[in-house]
Amino acid sequence: MEENTRRMLNGQPYRPDSPELNTFHEVAHRLCQDYNQLRDTDTTQRNQIIDQLMPNHGKQPYLQGPIQFDYGRFTTVGDHFYANFNLTVLDTCPITIGDNVMLGPNVSLITATHPLRWQQRNPRQQSDGTFTDLELGKPINIGNNCWFGSNVTICPGVTIGDGCVIGAGAVVTHDMPANSLVVGVPARAVRQITENDHLDSYPY
C-alpha cells in the first residue's frame, strides 16, 4: 500500500490523484456501474460484484441498487446488511458497519472532508509540478441492529451506537448513543428506544 493511501486511511491530508487511489476508485466505479445495469434477479452476477467491490462483508448482504462507492474495499459490513435504492458511500476513511443494519433509500455515508479555510482547500501546485488539492477524512462506525430512514446523511467522524433508529432526512454530525431515536438537521437523539416501543400486534 502506498504511503499516500495510508495517510488517507489514517485521516491525514493526502493527494486524491495518486496512482494507487486512481486505480482503486476506477475499479470501484466500474463495478458500481456494472452492478447498476443488472436486474434484481441476476443474483449470481450481483453477488460476484459485491464480493469484488466490498470484500469485507458478512453473510447475505443485499444492496438494492443503484449504488455508488468511492472505493468499496475500505467499507466493512456485518451479517444481513441491507441497503435500499441509491446508496452513496465515500469511504476515503474506513467505514465499519455491524450486523443487521438496514438503510433506507438515498442514504449517504460520507467520510470525506476538506479544510474549512479556502487557503488550504483550493488546488495548488505540488512538488511534482501538477495542480491538485489535499483532502482528508474521518472514519464512520455504525453498530449492530440499526435502521436508517430515507435520505439520511452520516457525516465524517461519526459513531452510531447499537440499536439506533435514524429518522428520515436526518443529517448526523456527531456521535449517537446506543438505542437512540435520532431526528433532525443537525440530528439529535430525542429519546431512548425502550420496551414501551414494542408492537403488541407483532408476531414476536
| Cα 139 to Cα 193: distance, rounded to the nearest angstrom | 26
Residue 18, H or E segment: none
Cβ–Cβ under 8 Å, residues 58 and 43: no
* Under 8 Å between Cβ of 112 and 135: yes
SS (H, E, C) 153-197: EECCCCEECCCCEECCCCEECCCECCCEEEECCCCEEEEECCHHH
| Catalytic residue flag (residue 114) | yes
DSSP state, 129?
Answer: S
Residue (of 108, 110, 112, 63) closest to 88 by Cα position: 108
From 25, 114, 174, 198, the catalytic residue: 114
Peptide bond into 186 cis (omega under 30): yes
For residue 113 the three cell numbers come to 472532508
8 A C-beta contact, residue 79 and residue 64: no
The residues annotated with a catalytic role in the active site are: 114
